[in-house]
Amino acid sequence: MSKEKYVTYIAILTASFGYIYDFDSAVISSSVEILADTFKINKQMIGILVTIVLIGGLVGGLCAGYFSEKIGRKRTIIYSLLVFLMGGFITIFSPNIEMFMFGRLIMGLGLGSVFLVGAIYVIEISPIETRGRNGTINQLFMPLGLVIGFWLAYTVTNYLEDKFILNNSWRILFSLEVFQGIIIFMLFLKIPESPRWLYLKGFEGEAKESLKKVLSEDRVEKVLQDLSTAKTNTEITDKINLKKINKGTIILLLLIIISAIFRQFSGINPVIYYAPEIFQEVSLINTSGYSQSVTMGVYEILGSVIVLFLIDKYGRKKLLFYGTLMMTISLGYLTYALFYKERGIYEIYSVYIYNLTYTVAFGTVLTVYISEITPNSIRSFGVTLFNIINYIFDILLTQIYPVMNLKSESFPFFIFFMVSMISLFFIPFIPETKGKTLEEIGEKWKSIK
């Protein structure tokens, strides 16, 4: 296998974390009714049943940044996968709702951790020419997991007639999820550690060997030279010490925080979570939740494919700007349609176009971008900060959307439209990362006094 193909293989394997993350979402969404009947739980408990994995993901994400710095990217990923598998087995064999909830919480810990560290790892291991593409593969696999998860759930619940199997279909679906997790875990054992983490921790020999697996000999020496320079400067400026923090790092952290806020307040999670209600508001035809979920997933896949082929050619800023522009236009039209009670095919496709262009801009490009712009020594901190803000506002917006929607169907979309409009004026001022090494990007922030 050539080194280029080997890096692509690593990127695909790392992308399987995102696949499992969304596969799990599809499984739990498809199993809610059967679980409610099996464990005799009320609607309030169902809400907790769905959100407890997010709580676990939040805690897992908080812990992941620390451990990925202390014990390495690879070890953190391996241990996180083990935690996820342990939670999966508890979930599958749960005799009661309490044990099931505990298993889901443990699964969330593993999923939140492995998803965050995987995004860091693939950026650090990738050559400059394909770094954007490799980071995009992760986002491509997420909706793929959603679509396959819903398809399997639909197959199990609609084509198997045995009553015992149907009553335990959720155990079958979680077993399929755990089985895939075991395969991913076994394959990842043979993957090299991040060379940038190794070098920053003083394992220069191991870092060189890791780089040799993914780069040509001349490129290895160039990267090692850049790492040596970056490591020297890091000891002075990159530590997260409030007394010594430099202006460039402050600007960077503000950029990360603002980006996370823009990402959530553009409305994607309320749109996904409340898709059936939204489609009912903009359509004269009632369609099934399964059909909507799969269609939304297909549009997300299409958005990720667009980025896959264009991100390393045209750069991050162009895709981010034009994707956000189309997303803003879609939100503006949806706000108009909901305010004036318009119903029809154009309104339905506005939702789909919004979903596609969000995937291009804030869903895929921004995720890759945040992993790139953060210097090696604080990448775990920066990506963790970005993800934690996303989790917090995800939970917040999901809770307040129904309240806003009660006052006016168009009001939430007007808020999303305004935030997207503001972000259009913000994007031109951010630095481009295309064609620059991670060390060069890090040096830019250090040079700001």
Query: Is the pLDDT score of 44 beyond 90?
Result: no
Q: Give domain status of residue 217, yes or no.
A: no
What is the number of structural domains in the chain?
2
- Terminal alpha carbon distance of the chain: 45
Residue % of the chain over a pLDDT of 70? 87
Residue 13, pLDDT score: 94
Q: Which helix (H) or strand (E) holds 353?
A: helix 345-358
Residue 127, pLDDT score: 87
Residue carrying the six token digits 């749109």: 271
Work out the pLDDT band at 206, boundaries 50, 70, 90. Answer: very high
Q: Give domain status of residue 211, yes or no.
A: no
Report the C-alpha gap between 16 and 110 in whole angstroms: 14
- End residue of a domain, out of 145, 177, 200: 200
* Residues 97 and 187 reside in one and the same domain: yes
Residue carrying the six token digits 């409030």: 242
Query: Is the pLDDT score of 68 beyond 60?
Result: yes
Residue % of the chain over a pLDDT of 90? 36
* Residues 139 and 272 reside in one and the same domain: no
* Residues 196 and 276 reside in one and the same domain: no
* Residues 275 and 174 reside in one and the same domain: no
In terms of Cα–Cα distance, which of 429, 405, 406 is closest to 416? 405
* Residues 249 and 164 reside in one and the same domain: no
Which one is predicted more confidently, 146 or 284? 146
- Within 13 Å, how many C-alpha atoms sit on residue 300's CB side? 24
Query: Is the pLDDT score of 1 beyond 80?
Result: no
Q: Give domain status of residue 212, yes or no.
A: no
Which one is predicted more confidently, 47 or 24? 24
Residue 281, pLDDT score: 66
- Domain that includes residue 388, residue range: 238-447
* Residues 166 and 253 reside in one and the same domain: no
Work out the pLDDT band at 90, boundaries 50, 70, 90. Answer: very high
Structure confidence by residue, pLDDT tens digits, 8-42 = 999 999 999 989 988 998 888 778 778 888 888 77
Q: Choose the most confident range, by mean pLDDT, from 198-202, 221-225, 322-326.
A: 322-326
Q: Give domain status of residue 371, yes or no.
A: yes
Query: Is the pLDDT score of 279 beyond 80?
Result: no
SS3 194: coil
* Residues 284 and 339 reside in one and the same domain: yes
Q: What is the pTM of this model?
A: 0.81
Q: Give domain status of residue 59, yes or no.
A: yes
Residue 10, pLDDT score: 93
Q: Give domain status of residue 227, yes or no.
A: no
Residue 147, pLDDT score: 85
* Residues 381 and 290 reside in one and the same domain: yes
Residue 235, pLDDT score: 44
Sign of the alpha-carbon torsion through 74, 76, 77, 81: positive
Residue 259, pLDDT score: 93
Structure confidence by residue, pLDDT tens digits, 112-156 = 999 889 989 998 898 888 888 888 887 888 888 888 988 888 787
Alpha carbon distances (Å) from 96 to 26, 91, 93, 101, 275: 22, 10, 9, 9, 31
Residue 257, pLDDT score: 94
363 secondary structure, DSSP code: I
Q: Give domain status of residue 233, yes or no.
A: no
- End residue of a domain, out of 139, 172, 200: 200
Contact (Cβ atoms closer than 8 angstroms) between residue 365 and residue 316 = yes
Contact (Cβ atoms closer than 8 angstroms) between residue 400 and residue 290 = no
Q: Give domain status of residue 358, yes or no.
A: yes
* Residues 75 and 171 reside in one and the same domain: yes
Query: Is the pLDDT score of 399 beyond 80?
Result: no
Structure confidence by residue, pLDDT tens digits, 220-262 = 888 888 788 766 555 434 445 555 567 888 899 999 999 999 9
What CATH number corresponds to the domain at position 265? Answer: 1.20.1250.20
Report the C-alpha gap between 381 and 391 in whole angstroms: 15
In terms of Cα–Cα distance, which of 381, 146, 420, 120 is closest to 264? 420
Q: Rounded to the nearest 5°, which phi and psi values hold at 212? A: -60, -25
Contact (Cβ atoms closer than 8 angstroms) between residue 330 and residue 355 = no
Query: Is the pLDDT score of 351 beyond 50?
Result: yes
Give the chain's mean pLDDT: 84
* Residues 244 and 189 reside in one and the same domain: no
Chain mean position to CA 38: 31
What letter represents residue 388's amino acid? I
Contact (Cβ atoms closer than 8 angstroms) between residue 61 and residue 387 = yes
* Residues 336 and 412 reside in one and the same domain: yes
Q: Rounded to the nearest 5°, which phi and psi values hold at 337? A: -65, -40
* Residues 358 and 439 reside in one and the same domain: yes
**Ordered DSSP codes for 208-262:** HHHHHTTS-HHHHHHHHHHHHHHHHHHHHHTS--TTT--HHHHHHHHHHHHHHHH
Q: Choose the most confident range, by mean pLDDT, from 27-41, 81-95, 295-309, 375-389.
A: 81-95
Query: Is the pLDDT score of 280 beyond 70?
Result: no
